[in-house]
Amino acid sequence: MLSHAGIMRPQRHICVRPSVRSNVAATLAFFTVAIMPSDTSAAAETITFDDLGLSPMVLAAVKAVGYETPSPIQAATIPFILAGRDLVGQAQTGTGKTAAFALPLLSRLDVNSRRTQALILAPTRELAIQVAEALQSYAAQMPGFHVLPIYGGQDYRGQLAALKRGVQVVVGTPGRVMDHMRRGTLKLDDLSHLVLDEADEMLRMGFIDDVEWVMGQMPEKRQIALFSATMPSAIRRIATTYLNNPEQITIKTKTSTAVTIRQRYWMARGLNKLDALTRILEAEPFDGMIIFVRTKLVTTELAEKLQARGYAAAALNGDIAQAQRERTVENLKKGRLDIIIATDVAARGLDVERISHVINYDIPHDTEAYVHRIGRTGRAGRSGEAILFVAPRERRMLQSIERATRQSIEEMGLPTAENINALRVDRFMQKITDTLAGTDLSFFRKMLQEYVSKHDVAEIDVAAALASQLQGDKPLLVKDAPKLMTESRNRDKAGGGKRAPDTSLQRYRLEVGRQHGVSAGNIVGAIANEANINSANIGRISIYPEFSTVDLPADLSSGAYECLKSTRVAGQALNISVHDGGDMPIERERPRKPRTSKAGDKGGRKPVTKARSKSSPREKRGKL
């Protein structure tokens, strides 16, 4: 939690100061007429922070943190927010949106009052903390300023104590803000500013109903600024419903991703993804790296496996305690960690300068998530590398990403065993070179000369023995690469079709049904992608109004089972459990339709084994 200690001093309430009113008016006029996508760069270059009408204390803080000229979104929005206008700002992530609303908001606050004057809604606790820290930094010259981040997973006692003392700005996630409002612990009677940060992300995460509930409780006279990277229909509807004649500002870029990022993909055929990742880590020179996966479970599993292979890696996900999360990010910044394995939500707002590589270990669900992911590298003109792992069934998503970013992503080949061995030999010999150049070897020369003379062995043999001793038990060279799996390994010897699953099946219940708009394809995709279960091992799927059933291997691992409990389909958590046959609607089951071709079943797959009726050991924890 941020510190809220501060000295209370008189502070003038600033709306648009008379001394700069003409500057603000001129700037407003300029942007009203001239703010166009092609003109944003020029506009940002011709205007300085001094021209925007910010308060002297905010300007001093801006200069202290090293900001020189406003970004296009900052130059375009600050005058309107200072003037009290409602605003819709659309700009790509990483363009400076936080300062775009934080600087004018601080310039309008009355720090003499401890009542809450501004509320900022953010989709994640990481972003809420980041915004609160930015506000604290920009308010460094404003004694008496207090900001409080509130979010789920944080102890209520600290939040309640800070709210009771009084804070001018609250930054929070929708659910926790709504909870405090219902409790009466967050009073917004004097609220004059509301900011929705990353509104499209709140929509994607299913928080939009909470957001609308909060907006419906706002005082009638308040200013609203809505920021979003994209503008889906639900966000446009909110802007139309709750904002008063808002100023529309769109900052467009030539591409959705930075031109400084080199993008490549690897088509995941046959070779285990972990082995492929290990080869890339060994062959690619990198400084800091983020590896993106889809689930929290995989973050910890992959981090442990990389640690076992000698890499300084750690997981970053929503289940990790906040103090540990902050230590992890700090360790990455300081170079004590080299690799973070993260989910999309956990990495929001993460900006670490030394991140040179982003690896999409699991392909994202949508193109916007891809842009957000690789935006963690290649910032502020720095070069970056983005590598995407693509399964053959994910080719369409790859094409969608290329269309959305308007950039071609080049295919890469994995380093071979020969490549890896050559690199290892080079590194080993470089160690010898460095030791020869920087170490006093006189004692060891004398000792080895005595050894050679005494034992009558060649000097090169002694050197080889010492090299082997230095390497230890770990082989210097890797073995030949395992042969990639070919289609013949998955073919039935008799007819060329896929083998039928050699496993019995168990019927499971999923808490998503027809009323949620789910389809069998949604369920198959989620199970295959999240639990890494081959679609050939997914049996009958039956969809009912309130739930569905699916036949899966009876020996389903505990890791896959726990993963599927939290996996979301059609906006609903699957909450998978062993199905006991109860609560079945009286209607005909809808089996999953087999894929067919002129030659019959496309894969030649045999009928799946009938689901077992008896309970499994997992039934005790999953039975309804």
Q: Which CATH number goes with the domain that contains 311?
A: 3.40.50.300
Examine residue 69 and state whether it is found in any structural domain, yes or no. Answer: no
Please give the pLDDT value at position 256: 56
Residue 581 exposed, middle or buried by CB count within 10 Å (0-12, 13-18, 19+):
exposed
Q: 405 with 439, same domain? A: no
CB 129 within 8 A of CB 323: no
Q: Is residue 49 part of a domain?
A: no
Listed ranges 189-198, 341-350, 371-380, 548-557; the one with the highest mean pLDDT: 189-198
Q: What is the pLDDT of residue 145?
A: 94
Confidence of residue 263 (pLDDT cuts 50, 70, 90): very high
Pair 432, 328 in one domain: no
Q: Quick count: other Cβ atoms within 10 Å of Cβ 459?
A: 11
Q: Which residue has the higher pLDDT, 406 or 382?
A: 406
CA distance 136 to 106: 10
pLDDT at 569: 80
Residue 618: pLDDT band by 50, 70, 90 thresholds? very low
Contact criterion met (CB below 8 Å) for 387 and 358: yes
Give the integer Cα–Cα distance in Å for 389 and 360: 6
Q: Is there a domain that residue 76 lies in? A: no
**pLDDT for 565:** 84
Do 509 and 397 lie in one domain? The reply is no
β-sheet bridge partners, residue 616: none
CATH code for position 584: 3.30.70
pLDDT at 13: 31
Q: 412 and 428, same structural domain?
A: no
- In the structure, what pLDDT confidence band is assigned to residue 503 with cuts at 50, 70 and 90? very low
Beta strands in 382-513 (DSSP E): 384-390, 410-411, 505-510
CB-based contacts of 186-189 (< 8 A; 24+ apart in sequence):
186/116, 186/150, 187/115, 187/116, 188/116, 188/119, 188/217, 188/218, 188/219, 189/115, 189/219
Residue 152 and residue 245 share a domain:
yes
Q: How confident is the model at residue 611 (pLDDT cuts 50, 70, 90)?
A: very low
| CB-based contacts of 441, cutoff 8 Å, min separation 6 | 435
User: What integer is the mean pLDDT of 162-182?
Assistant: 93
pLDDT surpasses 70 at 605:
no
Residue 185: how many CA atoms within 13 Å on its side-chain side? 18
What confidence score (pLDDT) does residue 587 get? 42
Q: How far is CA 255 from CA 96, 367, 371, 407, 612, in A?
A: 17, 13, 10, 8, 53
| pLDDT value of position 93 | 59
Question: CA–CA separation, 440 vs 452, rounded Å?
Answer: 20
Most confident range (mean pLDDT) of 49-53, 221-225, 411-415, 564-568 is 221-225
Residues 601 and 463 in one domain: no
Q: Is the pLDDT of residue 127 over 60?
A: yes
Number of domains in the chain: 4
Residues 508 and 448 in one domain: no
Do 312 and 347 lie in one domain? The reply is: yes
pLDDT the model gives residue 125: 82
Answer whether residue 495 shows pLDDT above 60: no
Q: How high is the mean pLDDT of the chain? A: 78
Helix (H) or strand (E) holding 467: helix 459-471
**3-state secondary structure at position 207:** coil
Phi, psi (rounded to 5 degrees) for 118: -140, 140
Taking only the tens place, the pLDDT of each residue in 194-253 is 999 999 989 988 899 999 999 999 998 999 999 998 889 999 999 999 999 999 999 875
Residue finishing a domain among 406, 438, 471: 471
| Residue bearing the bigger pLDDT, 140 or 568 | 140
Report strand pairing: 147-150 vs 596-597: unpaired
Q: Which residues pair with 266 in a beta bridge?
A: 389
pLDDT score of 46: 62
pLDDT at 66: 65
Q: What is the mean pLDDT of residues 299-328?
A: 89
Is residue 314 predicted with pLDDT exceeding 90? yes
pLDDT at 185: 94
Residue 92 banded pLDDT, cuts 50, 70, 90 = low
Q: How confident is the model at residue 109 (pLDDT cuts 50, 70, 90)?
A: very high
442 in the same domain as 410: no
Q: Give residue 581's pLDDT band: very low, low, confident or very high (50, 70, 90).
A: low
Span 519-531, pLDDT tens digits = 887 888 788 777 7
Least-confidence region, from 1-15, 492-506, 548-562, 595-609: 1-15
Residue 136, in any domain of the structure:
yes
- Residue 195: what pLDDT? 97
Whether 437 is in a domain gets the answer: yes
**Residue 25 pLDDT class (50, 70, 90 cuts):** very low
Average pLDDT over residues 160-171: 94
For residue 485, name the pLDDT band (cuts at 50, 70, 90).
very low
Q: Last residue of a domain, which of 251, 269, 292?
A: 251
- Sign, CA dihedral 404-405-407-408, equals negative
Residue 245 lies in a domain: yes
* pLDDT tens figures, 419-468: 778 887 887 888 888 888 888 888 988 898 889 888 888 889 888 888 88
Percent of the chain with pLDDT over 70: 78
Q: Are residues 337 and 313 in the same domain?
A: yes
Q: Give the residue numbers spanning the domain of 519.
A: 491-622
Could you tell me which residues come within 8 angstroms of residue 39 by beta carbon, excluding any fewer than 6 positions away? none
pLDDT bracket for residue 135 (50, 70, 90) = very high
Pair 160, 279 in one domain: no
Output the pLDDT for position 347: 80
Last residue of a domain, one of 251, 280, 301: 251
Residue 233 lies in a domain: yes
Asked whether the predicted pLDDT for residue 101 surpasses 90, the reply is: yes
Check whether residue 271 and residue 245 sit in a common domain.
Answer: no
What is the pLDDT, as a whole number, of residue 192?
95
Q: Is residue 523 part of a domain?
A: yes
Q: According to the model, what pLDDT value does residue 496 have?
A: 39
From 37-41, 94-98, 134-138, 511-515, the region with the lowest mean pLDDT = 37-41
Lowest mean pLDDT among 163-167, 251-255, 530-534: 251-255
What was the pLDDT predicted at 397? 83
